Amino acid sequence: MFLTLIFNSYPSLKAFGIKFFYEKKWDPVFNEFGALPFLIGTILTSFLALIISIPFSLSLSIFLGEYYREGKLSLILKNLLDLLAGIPSIIYGFWGLFFLVPIIRNLEIKMGITPYGVGIFTASIILSIMIIPYSSSIGREVIELVPSEIKEAAYSLGATRYEVIKKVIIPYAISGILSGIFLSLGRALGETMAVTMVIGNANILPKNIFSPGNTMASVIANEFTEATGDLYLSALIEIGLFLFLITFIINFIGRILVRKYIVK
Amino acid sequence: MKEKNFNRIIKDRLFKIITIFFSFFSILPLFLILFHLIKNGISSINFEFIFNLPKPVGEKGGGIANAIVGTFILIFISFFLSTPIGISVGIYLSENKDKKLAKIVDFLVDILQGIPSIVLGIIAYLWIVKPMKNFSAFSGSIALSIMMLPVIIKSVKETLSLIPQSLKEASLSLGVPYYKTLLFVILPAGLSGIITGILIGISRIAGETAPLLFTAFGNPYMNLNIFKPIEALPHLIYNYAKSPFPEWHQKAWAASFILILIVFTLNFFSKWIIKRWKVRF
């Protein structure tokens, strides 16, 4: 698969070389392709989504892994999270387009910025909702694995629960929590449909987080079938190749972190 | 001293409340999505909607029968493509855990799981669509079955490694050949896990759109030929949602409702099977 991608992106690799990644012009009419806007768009949306999702997923994993480990409440919550993880991404995108976009637009009018509604910020919110179930389920598992002896030792010294969580559980489980975050970052990077529907699809360098943009995955989704000319197509395939490599590296780091934790 | 302890207790309580608040807040989108789907979708679902073909904009009525049939055809083909490979790779991995090749394959399966679906779409396009020179249901199924494969492999491997060694040894000691032991002892014992894996895989691909954009491509007519373009529910939702016509938006809501019903049913069944026939030894 990897070879297929390299082989087919060869024309564009040859024509643009390293310039492909910092050229900010994307103009199919003149056969000029630079992937910088999409690179920036992808990085912005994924990291913003990650930052938004961390407080939620962390508290979910503490809630399910420590406060309410068993019982009806956590069972219901776990099942609901599974449902949330099961919703197809296209439905997230559709819902975002008709529910979230008007809300963001009103917000933007109040803040006095150009009200696009769609844009990087909206895409990040949708993405963060989508990755919460993943990172929180990994976080819950590692928090459950924290041995009860060390927790009890801390309690016996008179620590409150908050202190135990902050000073014992989180430091112990940190590599597992981080790997959950990394794995969900890999998901966020490659997520296509939901992002495509709410990001605004503008092939320009985004000015701020509210302006419309495009990510690597969404530009492929939008332009692949319309791509006329071999160079255009191969430029898109090169973006795909690059996306493949990035997610590969991020997943790799995530797995290493998981393995390290299990060995411990 | 007392002051300090009081502060610590307050902090403790506060932290708990914040945690609970954030936890429940993150479930909120689920209810919002379901609420909107039901509110907007259920009114336009009727007999005609499910069994008729789409009509052009402006005409009343029309349904999404082609997309429902298309989705099932795509799932069906991907199921037949990925299940045999998935099960055999899973068996191999659980039987030869310590071999170097198995470790490499295991790693590659992990990688495969992480590949963005859109990239799989490109690959299916380059492999199937380009040589055959037209979009087809078959190419879409290839992309979907590659997505499904790691899910099946993982669950087969995990279930089979739960089966105790003594069961296998008992069968071998009775003189049963190795392949028969695998087929008639190991596989039936792990059947529930395998079925669950397949169901989870199907529910993962049922809602997938990205790879279908340039493989199955969509088709406004009923199509049963797998070498022609075919419509699928998620793809139809994407097209209708992007369109400027309110009546199409209405249809997209209804189609989303049906899609989510299918996905949730699959999830429910896989959970039920896990509960019912859990591998216990």
**Nearest chain A Cα distance for residue B19, angstroms:** 5
pLDDT at residue A235 in the model = 77
Assess whether pLDDT exceeds 80 at residue A185: yes
Q: How confident is the model at residue A46 (pLDDT cuts 50, 70, 90)?
A: confident
Q: Give the phi and the psi of residue A108 in degrees, each rounded to 5.
A: -70, -35
Q: Which strand (E) or helix (H) includes residue A33?
A: strand A32-33
A203 and A219 in contact (C-beta within 8 Å)? yes
Q: List helix spans (H) across chain A.
A: 2-8, 10-16, 36-62, 72-86, 89-95, 101-111, 120-145, 148-156, 161-164, 170-190, 193-198, 216-223, 230-263
Asked if B132 and B162 sit in the same domain, the reply is yes
pLDDT at residue B63 in the model = 67
Assess whether pLDDT exceeds 70 at residue B61: no
CA distance A257 to B16: 28
**Nearest chain A Cα distance for residue B167, angstroms:** 28
pLDDT averaged over chain B? Answer: 80
Most confident of A96-105, A173-182, B84-93: B84-93
Q: Give the phi and the psi of residue B114 in degrees, each rounded to 5.
A: -85, -10
Q: How confident is the model at residue A26 (pLDDT cuts 50, 70, 90)?
A: low
CB contact under 8 A, A190 and B119: yes
Asked if B8 and B141 sit in the same domain, the reply is no
- Picking from B11, B12, B118 by the largest number of A CB atoms within 10 A of its own CB, the best residue to mutate is B118
Asked if B144 and B237 sit in the same domain, the reply is yes
Assess whether pLDDT exceeds 60 at residue A262: no
Q: What is the CATH number of the domain that holds B172?
A: 1.10.3720.10
DSSP characters over B204-226: HHHT--GGGTTTTB--SS----T
Of B225 and B99, the structure prediction assigns the larger pLDDT to: B99
The answer to the question of residue B281 being in a domain is no
DSSP characters over A149-161: HHHHHHHHTT--H
**Nearest chain A Cα distance for residue B146, angstroms:** 11
The answer to the question of residue B212 being in a domain is yes
Asked if B207 and B232 sit in the same domain, the reply is yes
CA distance A39 to A204: 11
Q: Does A206 reach chain B within 8 Å, measured CB to CB?
A: no
Residue B126's domain spans which residues?
Answer: 47-276
Asked if B94 and B176 sit in the same domain, the reply is yes
pLDDT at residue B1 in the model = 60
pLDDT at residue A264 in the model = 47
Among the partner-chain residues B14, B119, B237, the one whose CB lies closest to the CB of A94 is B237
Q: List helix spans (H) across B52-136.
A: 65-95, 100-114, 117-124, 130-132
Among the partner-chain residues A5, A88, A224, the one whose CB lies closest to the CB of B263 is A88
The answer to the question of residue B246 being in a domain is yes
Q: Which residue ranges make up each domain of chain A?
A: 2-22+32-263
| Token pair for B262 | 């299918």
Among the partner-chain residues B32, B37, B210, the one whose CB lies closest to the CB of A192 is B210
Measure CA B185 to chain center.
Answer: 28
DSSP B40: H
B137-160 average pLDDT score: 86
CA distance A67 to A160: 13
- Picking from A8, A69, A79, A87 by the largest number of B CB atoms within 10 A of its own CB, the best residue to mutate is A87
Domain A2-22+32-263 CATH class label: mainly alpha
Assess whether pLDDT exceeds 80 at residue B267: yes
Asked if B136 and B71 sit in the same domain, the reply is yes
A122 and A101 in contact (C-beta within 8 Å)? yes
The answer to the question of residue B39 being in a domain is no
Asked if B233 and B201 sit in the same domain, the reply is yes
Asked if B87 and B202 sit in the same domain, the reply is yes
Neighboring chain A residues of B237 at a CB cutoff of 8 Å: 90-91, 94
Q: How confident is the model at residue B89 (pLDDT cuts 50, 70, 90)?
A: confident
Q: How confident is the model at residue A25 (pLDDT cuts 50, 70, 90)?
A: low
CA distance A207 to B226: 45
From the list A137, A39, A131, A45, the residue with the least C-alpha distance to A89 is: A131
The answer to the question of residue B83 being in a domain is yes
The residue type of A258 is V
> How confident is the model over B238-266, as pLDDT tens digits?
888 777 777 778 888 888 888 888 888 88
Beta-carbon contacts below 8 Å between A and B: 185
pLDDT at residue A16 in the model = 58
**Nearest chain B Cα distance for residue A202, angstroms:** 15
| Token pair for B73 | 């055809």
Assess whether pLDDT exceeds 80 at residue A83: yes
The answer to the question of residue B237 being in a domain is yes
A160 and B5 in contact (C-beta within 8 Å)? no
Asked if B84 and B168 sit in the same domain, the reply is yes
Task: Classify the phi-psi angles of A71: left when phi > 0, otherwise alpha if psi is within -120 to 50, otherwise beta.
Answer: left
**Nearest chain B Cα distance for residue A124, angstroms:** 14
Q: Give chain B's domain count.
A: 2
Neighboring chain B residues of A237 at a CB cutoff of 8 Å: 122, 126
Name the residue in chain A with its Cα closest to that of B119: A240
The answer to the question of residue B42 being in a domain is no
Asked if B141 and B190 sit in the same domain, the reply is yes
Q: Using CB atoms and an 8 Å cut-off, which of residues 240-269 of chain B contact chain A?
A: 241-242, 249, 252-253, 256, 259-260, 263-264, 267
The answer to the question of residue B41 being in a domain is no
| Token pair for B68 | 């429902």
Of A4 and A173, the structure prediction assigns the larger pLDDT to: A173
Among the partner-chain residues A190, A250, A251, the one whose CB lies closest to the CB of B118 is A190
CB contact under 8 A, B111 and A89: no
